Amino acid sequence: MERNVMKKKFLNVFLILTISILLIPNLIYAQKPVKLIINGKEIKNSVEPFIENNRTLVPVRVISESLGYNVVWSPETKIISISKDNNELIKNEVSIGLAINKSYLMSFDPEVVTKSSSMLLNGTITHEEAGEMVANSAKKTNIDVAPKIIDNVTFVPIRVIAEQFNLKVQWDDENRTVIIEESANKNTIKN
């Protein structure tokens, strides 16, 4: 009986030590969260960006709306559309679409977007026809990390938006910070 008690105590101590040793590396190597700075202002959000496969993924609404871009989510097609208005009534100078869990980006021809929007407003085509018209004009570009939904938040690789909207992007490795500035010159990163 006493031998069983000693054996149980030894096993308990052994388990506690083993678990402690396994947890120590996680505590030591825990990384700082990724920060996001847009046009000199740190963007705080309850959902933090993260790195996957050497790419920084950010909540699409946070990045897009911080830059004044429009974001539209289509739950039926699981496509995120992002557009940068150029202050004309309908016309968008840049418009892209990203499909959840798909490794490509669609860039839409601004003239086709404008034409289909005008035709839709005039009642000469339906929503479905306008969507088909725009989709048929889309140019697909492969991307290395697909957009994804985590806890009802859509994440996209920041480089994708930066390249499409001609943004200057820098990665501060020491501070784990993505720095984005609107600029005519683009400088992309691998994160």
Average pLDDT over residues 157-186: 83
Is residue 147 one of the residues assigned to a domain? yes
Q: Is the pLDDT of residue 18 over 70?
A: no
Say what the pLDDT of residue 41 is.
92
Give tens-digit pLDDT for 27-81: 445 678 889 899 999 988 888 899 998 899 999 988 888 888 888 888 888 888 8
Distance between CA atoms of 131 and 148, rounded to whole angstroms? 23
Say what the pLDDT of residue 94 is.
67
**Do 86 and 144 belong to one domain?**
yes
**Do 98 and 168 belong to one domain?**
yes
**Do 24 and 92 belong to one domain?**
no
Rg (CA), the chain: 24
Question: In which domain, by residue range, is 165 found?
Answer: 35-182
Say what the pLDDT of residue 188 is.
43
Is residue 189 one of the residues assigned to a domain? no
Say what the pLDDT of residue 81 is.
84
CATH of the domain at 107: 3.30.457.10
**Do 115 and 74 belong to one domain?**
yes
Distance between CA atoms of 70 and 113, rounded to whole angstroms? 14
With cut-offs at 50, 70 and 90, classify the pLDDT of residue 172: very high
**Do 69 and 163 belong to one domain?**
yes
With cut-offs at 50, 70 and 90, classify the pLDDT of residue 15: low
Q: How many residues does the chain have?
A: 191
Tokens of 85: 């208005």
Is residue 63 one of the residues assigned to a domain? yes
Tally the domains of the chain.
Answer: 2
**Do 58 and 134 belong to one domain?**
yes
Mean pLDDT of the chain: 79
What's the chain look like in SS3? CHHHHHHHHHHHHHHHHHHHHHHHHHHHCCCCCCEEEECCEECCCCCCCEEECCEEEEEHHHHHHHCCCEEEEECCCCEEEEEEECCCCCCEEEEEEEECCCCEEEECCHHHHHHHHHHHHHCCCCHHHHHHHHHHHCEEEECCCCCEEECCEEEEEHHHHHHHCCEEEEEECCCCEEEEEECCCCECCCC
**Do 14 and 44 belong to one domain?**
no
Amino acid found at 16: I
Distance between CA atoms of 172 and 191, rounded to whole angstroms? 10
Distance between CA atoms of 172 and 132, rounded to whole angstroms? 41
With cut-offs at 50, 70 and 90, classify the pLDDT of residue 185: very low
Say what the pLDDT of residue 70 is.
86
Tell me the Ramachandran region of residue 54: left when phi exceeds 0, alpha when psi lies from -120 to 50, beta otherwise. left
Whether the model clears a pTM of 0.85, i.e. scores above it, the answer is: no
Most confident range (mean pLDDT) of 108-117, 134-143, 166-175 is 166-175
Distance between CA atoms of 88 and 67, rounded to whole angstroms? 17
**Do 5 and 57 belong to one domain?**
no
**Do 115 and 100 belong to one domain?**
yes
With cut-offs at 50, 70 and 90, classify the pLDDT of residue 148: very high
